[in-house]
Amino acid sequence: MPERKGVMIPKMAPLHPTRSMKVPVGKDWVYELKLDGFRGVLEVQNGAGAFTSKTSKPMPRFHGLANGLAKSLRVKSAVLDGEIIVMGDDGPDFNALFFRRREPAYAAFDLLWLNGRDLRPLPLWRRKNALRKLVAKTPIGYVDCVDDPALFTAVSQRDLEGIVAKRRGDPYRLSTEWLKVKTTGYSQMQGRWELFDRRKRR
């Protein structure tokens, strides 16, 4: 679908965090919650939306959610990176999402494209600022970041999945290093792989 001045949204492979056993520390690092859900890249064009997965595959199950969010954004085009989740009383409820027990929502942590402009070369802090402004007063959640590595301690105490550490000045490209640090003993991981194995056998 043509963009303004003939610009097309390019294919955008999502950036994958690398597992780390330690929280990196330094003035360049910032930290954000790792929400427990399905990774979803939301592409919006002319009021219509579509999600693709972390492996760039279509996610037709969430077509209704994507279109609803696209209409709320009121932009000609945009590409957001984030997580499809179901929020429970104490945080994301993965089982409720997996078994379709409640309506899903979307929380975005990055903005890759906006109205014909590729934002991926920009530093993280500028993309975050643009994202925060874009999703204000919409149903899309905004995943903020902090500069205190103690976020991981707080996350662990609340039995949340973990955090993702990023450098504030980094662009969005496949060579960029994001580090995910998971909570040891996270309760919702129990039986997780059995769920996916069972679905594959169907």
Q: Residue 11: inside a domain, yes or no?
A: no
Provide the pLDDT for residue 171.
98
Which pLDDT does position 2 carry in this prediction?
38
Phi (first) and psi of residue 189, to 5 degrees:
-80, -15
CATH number at residue 105: 3.30.470.30
Q: What single-letter amino acid sits at 68?
A: G
Query: Does residue 199 fall inside a structural domain?
Result: no
pLDDT tens profile 111-148:
999 999 999 999 999 999 999 999 999 999 999 999 99
Residue at 3: amino acid letter: E
Count of the separate structural domains present in the chain? 1
Residue 76 has pLDDT above 90, yes or no: yes
> Is 87 a domain residue?
yes
Quote the domain boundaries for residue 71. 16-191
Determine the pLDDT at residue 195: 54
Q: Comparing C-alpha atoms, which of 14, 37, 15 is closest to residue 166? A: 15
Alpha-carbon distance 18 to 180, whole Å?
6
SS3 readout for the chain? CCCHHHCCCCCCCCCCCEECCCCCCCCCEEEEECCCCEEEEEEEECCEEEEECCCCCECHHHHHHHHHHHHHHCCCEEEEEEEEECECCCCECHHHHHCCCCCCEEEEEEEEEECCEECCCCCHHHHHHHHHHHHCCCCCEECCCECCCCHHHHHHHCCCCEEEEEECCCCCCCCCCCEEEECCCCHHHCCHHHHHHHHHHC
Q: What is the pLDDT of residue 192?
A: 61
- In a domain, residue 4? The reply is no
Does 6 map to a domain?
no
What's the pLDDT band for 6 if we cut at 50, 70, 90?
low
Burial of 97 (0-12, 13-18, 19+ CB in 10 A): buried
The answer to whether position 34 is within a domain reads yes
pLDDT in tens, 95-110: 999 999 999 999 999 9
Provide Rg for the chain, Cα atoms: 17
Instruction: Tell whether 185 is covered by a domain.
Output: yes
Whether the model pTM is above 0.85: yes
**Once rounded to an integer, what is the mean pLDDT over residues 173-202?**
76
Share the mean pLDDT of the chain. Answer: 92
The answer to whether residue 10 sits within a structural domain is no
